[in-house]
């Protein structure tokens, strides 16, 4: 980040902080003595297509929806639970059952509340994110503002979201690509098996849209990986996620130094404390709310990454429009977004984020701007 950009970001943050402080003081005075009530519901999100990565395939994603009620308003949150997170509906419900929001004076005590939630147990990042997202939704509703405005961000800065094409048979890849090419401006392709070139060549029979690729740690040899990256660039690929195992950081750094495309960390980065140590190994980081415990830490990660001169990608799991909207409010800070999770499920529980010219645009309504469907 150059000097001018740094001072612009500091100024925007200061304006947002001042607005937040003024409205917070007014709301806290009005709402003194009221209590927050937490409730949660486990469910399974059915996928539109089987979701296949380098090492496994699945047809649904377990999730837990969270509601925090306060003074007649309800904040919504979500824990989406793909297998690699190591969480389950049972573990999330157990964790949430230990959260005591009644000890806090108001939802505006975000830093203190979320620090207390984080300290309840190690890991459990999706469970923690569900509380964080619900609190942000609630606070925004009390303030009467959407979160992108509270943060001082412009929707005009939101980059187009990728749409994921999972590893599959060529005829299915052609079908998925044809459907996606009509609505999206950039595709994301899962690689990391023995048919990587076939996947790209199949997609190129359908569309010439830009492509980002995610190897999901599937490549093992750094020289072969770099050769593949050069091949991909010639075919319209614009970035690469996690080419090698998170345990091969030196090999990844070797690739990053020589790569003609930006290399982003995914499995290598979870939370704020991971970011600084990855500066020499990656050009950028993929921030996911379910991994970093939610919106508050995601904001901090993005701020640190920019200060280190790293690029930012905002990613997601297979999620409802609740968590997607939460990330969409932050997305103006990103260089790339991968916020297609609500399109991958067949039974979205919320509305409130809109796909406009390939970009996931959050609502102007207060908080996250989402509405829960009647099911």
DSSP string, 265-332: ESTT--SHHHHGGGTTT-SEEEEEHHHHTSHHHHHHHHHHHHHTT-EEEEE--S--HHHHHHHHHHGG
More confident residue, 22 or 119: 119
Domain ranges of the chain: 28-147, 152-372
**Tokens standing for 326?**
């939460």
Distance of CA 18 to the CA centre of its chain: 27
Lowest mean pLDDT of 24-28, 86-90, 157-161, 170-174, name the range. Answer: 24-28
pLDDT score of 31: 57
pLDDT score of 4: 47
Distances (CA, A) of 87 to 77, 123, 126: 16, 9, 8
**Tokens standing for 231?**
């091949």
pLDDT score of 316: 96
Please name which of 79, 86, 81, 87 lies closest in space to residue 40, comparing C-alpha atoms: 79
The architecture in CATH of the region 152-372 reads Alpha-Beta Barrel (3.20)
pLDDT score of 167: 80
More confident residue, 293 or 2: 293
pLDDT score of 166: 80
Please name which of 130, 100, 96 lies closest in space to residue 113, comparing C-alpha atoms: 100
pLDDT of residue 22 exceeding 60, the answer is no
pLDDT of residue 279 exceeding 60, the answer is yes
Task: Give dist(CA 66, CA 261) in Å, integer.
Answer: 39
**Tokens standing for 27?**
């709301």
Model confidence over 163-198: pLDDT tens digits? 998 888 899 999 999 999 999 999 999 998 888 999
Q: Residues 96, 99, 101, 104: is their CA dihedral positive or negative?
A: negative
Q: Topology of 28-147 in CATH?
A: Enolase-like; domain 1 (3.30.390)
Which uninterrupted H or E stretch holds 352? none
> At 21, is the pLDDT very low, low, confident or very high (cuts 50, 70, 90)?
low
For residues 85-124, one letter each, b for 16 or more C-beta atoms within 10 angstroms of the residue's C-beta and e for the rest, the string is: bebebebbeebbeebebeebebbbbbeebbebbbeeeeeb
> At 56, is the pLDDT very low, low, confident or very high (cuts 50, 70, 90)?
low
CA angle 191, 194, 318 (to 5 degrees): 30
**Tokens standing for 81?**
């639970």
pLDDT score of 50: 74
pLDDT score of 18: 53
pLDDT of residue 222 exceeding 50, the answer is yes
Q: List CB contacts of 281: < 8 A, sequence separation 6 or more.
A: 249, 250, 252, 253, 256, 265, 268
> At 58, is the pLDDT very low, low, confident or very high (cuts 50, 70, 90)?
confident
DSSP at 193: S
> At 15, is the pLDDT very low, low, confident or very high (cuts 50, 70, 90)?
very low
pTM of the entire predicted model: 0.89
Model confidence over 326-365: pLDDT tens digits? 999 999 999 999 999 999 899 899 999 999 999 999 999 9
pLDDT score of 11: 43
pLDDT score of 84: 83
pLDDT of residue 7 exceeding 80, the answer is no
Please name which of 90, 109, 135, 127 lies closest in space to residue 292, comparing C-alpha atoms: 127
The arithmetic mean of pLDDT across residues 236-256, rounded, is 97
Cβ atoms 210, 160 nearer than 8 A: no
pLDDT of residue 243 exceeding 50, the answer is yes
Model confidence over 73-90: pLDDT tens digits? 999 999 999 888 899 999
pLDDT of residue 238 exceeding 80, the answer is yes
**Tokens standing for 281?**
């190994």
DSSP at 91: H
pLDDT score of 49: 75
Please name which of 108, 141, 101 lies closest in space to residue 29, comparing C-alpha atoms: 108
């Amino acid at each position: 980040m150059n000097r001018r950009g740094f001072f612009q970001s500091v100024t925007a943050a200061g304006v947002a902080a001042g607005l937040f402080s003024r409205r917070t003081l007014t709301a806290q005075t009005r709402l003194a003595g009221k209590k927050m009530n937490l409730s949660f519901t486990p469910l399974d999100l059915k996928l539109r297509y089987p979701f296949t990565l380098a090492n496994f395939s699945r047809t649904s994603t377990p999730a837990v929806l969270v509601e925090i009620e306060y003074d007649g308003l309800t904040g919504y949150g979500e824990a989406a639970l793909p297998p690699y997170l190591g969480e389950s509906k049972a573990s999330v419900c157990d964790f949430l059952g230990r959260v005591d929001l009644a000890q806090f004076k108001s939802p505006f005590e975000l830093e203190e509340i979320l620090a207390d939630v984080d300290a309840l147990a190690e890991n459990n990042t999706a469970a923690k994110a569900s509380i964080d997202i619900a609190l942000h939704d609630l606070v925004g509703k009390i303030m009467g503002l959407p979160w992108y405005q509270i943060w001082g961000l412009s929707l005009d800065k939101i980059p187009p979201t990728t749409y994921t094409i999972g590893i599959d048979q060529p005829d299915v890849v052609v079908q998925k690509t044809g459907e996606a090419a009509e609505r999206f401006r950039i595709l994301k392709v899962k690689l990391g098996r023995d048919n990587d070139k076939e996947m790209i060549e199949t997609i190129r029979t359908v569309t010439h849209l830009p492509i980002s690729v995610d190897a999901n740690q599937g490549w093992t040899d750094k020289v072969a990986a770099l050769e593949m990256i050069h091949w991909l660039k010639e075919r319209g690929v614009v970035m690469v996620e996690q080419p090698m195992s998170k345990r091969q950081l030196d090999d990844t750094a070797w690739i990053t130094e020589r790569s003609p495309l930006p290399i982003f960390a995914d499995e290598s980065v979870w939370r704020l404390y991971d970011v600084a140590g990855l500066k020499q190994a990656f050009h950028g980081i993929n921030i996911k709310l379910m991994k970093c415990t939610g919106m508050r830490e995601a904001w901090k990660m993005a701020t640190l990454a920019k200060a280190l001169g790293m690029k930012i990608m905002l990613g997601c799991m297979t999620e409802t429009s609740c968590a997607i909207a939460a990330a969409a409010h932050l997305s103006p800070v990103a260089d790339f977004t991968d916020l297609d999770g609500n399109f991958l499920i067949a039974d979205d529980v919320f509305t409130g984020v809109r796909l406009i010219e390939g970009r996931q645009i959050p609502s102007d309504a207060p908080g996250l701007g989402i509405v829960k469907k009647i099911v």
